[in-house]
Structure 1
C-alpha cells in the first residue's frame, strides 16, 4: 500500500513539473501550451455610430497580418490579430480588453479608435503590463493610462493648434463658435484646445454650445450661433454627427465656414452631409495625396485588396500595428516590459509619416489640413510640430 502511495505522489510531482515547464515568461500560451502564433488584440467600433472607422482599421490590420506572415512572421512565429467590437462605448471597450488579455492571452493591443474608449482601456493595459497603442488623440489616454500606453497619432494639444492656424491664417477668421458633444472626451478636449490657441493669436470665441450623444436636433444651439454670425463654426466630432449638424445649419441659413478634426475623415461625411460640407476644412494625420514611398506602397496594396483608397484612420491603424510588431521584433520577446521599452525608442518612417515618442508616449508627427471641394478631399498644407 505504501509503495502505491509513493508511486502516485511521484507521478503527480512529475506531472506538475512538466506543466510548470510549459509556462515560460514571454511566450504566447493557450491552455498551458506554447503556440507558434503571437496574438495581438485589436479593439475597434465594428458596430455603432462610427462603424465605418472601425472597419477601416480592421481592414488595415488584416492586410498587415497577411503581409507580415508572408514575409516570415515575427521572431520565427506568425502573428494573429484578434478583433473585438467596443461599439464605441467605454464600458464595452473595458470589457473586451480584459477578455483579450485574460482569455485571448494577447501580448499587445491596438486600439481603440476613439479617445473615450481608449481612456477606458488604458489603465487595464498598464495594470496587466500589456503594451497598448491607441488611435485616439486626447492627452488623457497616455497621461492617465500609464507607462504601457502609447498613441499612433498626434494628440489634441497639437491638433488644436492646427485648427487655430487654419482659422487665422487660411480663413482669416476673427470670430468662432464651437459646438460639441459635452460627454465625449475627444470632442470636449479638442474644442478646449482650439479655443485656447485661437484666443492666443487674437481670435474670439463668441459661443460654446453643447449637445449630448445621440441628439438629432441641433436647431436650438444653431439658432443661437446664427444670431452671433461667427466667421467659422468648429465641429470637433465624428463624421455622422457632423453631417447632421452641417445640413441643419445650412437649412437655417447659416453661412459660416465649418472647421473640424480628424473624426471627419470618412466617405460617409459627404454621403450624409452632401453639399452642406463643401467648403469646409479639417485637420488630419495625412493626406490621400501623400507621395512618400511608404504610403504609396500601402495605398496600392490596400486598393488592390479592398478596391478602395485608404483613409487616414486605416493608415493610422496600420501604423499602430506595424509599431507594435516592430517592437516585438526588436525586443526579441513578447515580454511586456521589453516590448514597452522598444516602443519608447521608436524613431521610424511609417505609412502616415515619421513618428517618434515624447516623454508621455504621445506620437510626435506632422498634421495636414484638408478642404472639401465638390465632395472630394483636397490637400491644403502640412503643419509640423
Structure 2
C-alpha cells in the first residue's frame, strides 16, 4: 500500500458540502506518528480512519474534519503536537497516539484542556491511570502479557524463556514484566533477559547471551523493526527457538524487513479479519479491500475503531463539549467494533477480545481468539 506523507502537519481531505464553511465542521485531531521509528503505525491508522470517515463522514449533522499533527515518533514532539491540535486547530477530541510513551507525553495537555483522547493501540496501563479524559480501544498489557505467557507455556510447551526488550519504550518494558511475572508463576524459567533500543540494527551481543541458554521460546515484546531484525539475525546464527511478540509486531514492515526469517513469529494482537464477526467489521473490511485490494492490519482496524467509538460517544452525548463526550466514552457498553465487542468504563480501558496471529507464507494468519 502506498502511503502519502506531507509536512509536519497534515490535513486529511474530507468531503464538505458546497458552501459549507469550517464553522460547520467538527474537528477531530489525529495525534499520530507520521514520520520516525514507528511511522508505519500512524500511517496505517490514518488509512483506517479515512475508510471509516467514508462510511460515517458526519456526526450531529455536521461534517467531520480530521486534522493530523505528526508526533514524529518522539515524546517531546508528541507533546508539541497535542498542544498544536488543541491551541491552534481547536479540535473537539483527539485520536492517538499509537504507542504508550508518546500518548503519555501528550495526555497531561489534553487533561488540562478537558479534551477527550482515544488511543487506538497504547496498551501500557499507565496511559489511562489517574486520567479522566484519556481512553483506549485496545486491551492493556497485563492481559496481553498473561495471555502470551500462557500461550508459550501451554501451547508451545516452553519451560525456558529468553527475552529481548526495547528499554527505550515504556510499552516494551511493561509488557516484558507482565510476561515474566505470568510465565514464572506458571512454573517457567527466565534464562536470559537482554535489552536493545528501537533504532538498533545489530543484535549480535544479545544473541551471544541468548543462544547458549537453549531457550524454548524467545519473547520479544517490541515494535516491528527490532523484532524483524533480531529474528532475522537469530535465524542466520542458527537460533531456532520460536519467537513470540506483542501487538506492536503486527505491521506489514515486520514481513518486509524480516522476509522468510520471520515465518512462524506469533504474537498477541488486536485484529484479524478471520476473527472479525460484527456487522461493522464486515462493512469496513469490504470498504477497505475494495479501495486498497489488500488485507487490513490491526493498526488500520484500531484506528477506525477509535474513530467509530469517538463518534458514537459524541452522538450519545449530543454534544462536542469535552466533559459530555468524556462521560459518554466512559459509559460505552458492548459497542460492536471492528475488532470485536468492547466496553469502556470510568478507568478509560477497553474490555474486549484478543487474537493470536502468526506469520505464515509471508502473511499474517489467524490462530485463535481469546475472550475476556
Q: How does the TM-score come out when normalised to structure 2?
A: 0.91
Q: Is the 8 A contact 1:288 1:312 kept in 2?
A: no
Corresponding residue for residue 24 of structure 1: none
Of residues 78, 86, 89, the one that matches 1:104 is 89
Corresponding residue for residue 360 of structure 1: 347
Secondary structure of residue in 1 paired with 2:193: strand
Q: Is the 8 A contact 2:225 2:254 kept in 1?
A: yes
CA deviations 1:146-192 (Å, max 9, x no partner) are: 10000110010110011111101210100101101112101101111
Distance 2:272 2:56 in 1: 25
Distance 2:223 2:44 in 1: 14
Corresponding residue for residue 350 of structure 1: 337
Corresponding residue for residue 190 of structure 1: 175
Q: How does the TM-score come out when normalised to structure 1?
A: 0.88
Question: C-alpha displacement at 1:212, in angstroms?
Answer: 2.3
The alignment status of 1:45 with 2:33, answered yes or no, reads yes
Corresponding residue for residue 61 of structure 1: 49
Q: Is the 8 A contact 2:356 2:367 kept in 1?
A: yes
Question: C-alpha displacement at 1:291, in angstroms?
Answer: 4.4
Corresponding residue for residue 340 of structure 1: 326
Runs of 4+ aligned structure 1 residues displaced above 4 Å come to: none
The alignment status of 1:237 with 2:225, answered yes or no, reads no
Corresponding residue for residue 18 of structure 2: none
Give structure 1 stretches of 5+ with no counterpart.
1-32
Corresponding residue for residue 377 of structure 1: 364
User: How do 1:169-248 and structure 2 match up within 5 A?
Assistant: 169-248=154-233
CA deviations 1:263-292 (Å, max 9, x no partner) are: 111222112111211122111012121241
Corresponding residue for residue 245 of structure 2: 260
The Cα RMSD (Å) is 1.4
Corresponding residue for residue 280 of structure 2: 294
Distance 2:90 2:133 in 1: 16
Secondary structure of residue in 1 paired with 2:274: coil
Question: C-alpha displacement at 1:96, in angstroms?
Answer: 0.6
Q: Is the 8 A contact 1:176 1:203 kept in 2?
A: yes
The alignment status of 1:330 with 2:287, answered yes or no, reads no
Residue correspondences, number? 349
Corresponding residue for residue 91 of structure 1: 76
Give structure 2 stretches of 5+ with no counterpart.
1-20
Corresponding residue for residue 235 of structure 2: 250
CA deviations 1:298-342 (Å, max 9, x no partner) are: 111011122322101111111111111111111111111100000
Q: 1:298 to 1:218 in 2, by over 3 A?
A: same
Does 185-194 or 52-61 show the bigger shift? 52-61
Question: C-alpha displacement at 1:90, in angstroms?
Answer: 0.9
Q: Is the 8 A contact 2:276 2:339 kept in 1?
A: no
Question: C-alpha displacement at 1:68, in angstroms?
Answer: 1.9
Q: Is the 8 A contact 2:158 2:216 kept in 1?
A: yes
CA deviations 1:76-104 (Å, max 9, x no partner) are: 21111111111111111110110000000
Corresponding residue for residue 13 of structure 1: none
Corresponding residue for residue 7 of structure 2: none
The alignment status of 1:139 with 2:100, answered yes or no, reads no
Q: 1:359 to 1:342 in 2, by over 3 A?
A: closer
Distance 1:358 1:197 in 2: 25
Distance 2:366 2:132 in 1: 35
Q: 1:359 to 1:341 in 2, by over 3 A?
A: closer
Distance 1:39 1:90 in 2: 23
CA deviations 1:195-221 (Å, max 9, x no partner) are: 001111111111111112312111011
Question: C-alpha displacement at 1:50, in angstroms?
Answer: 2.2
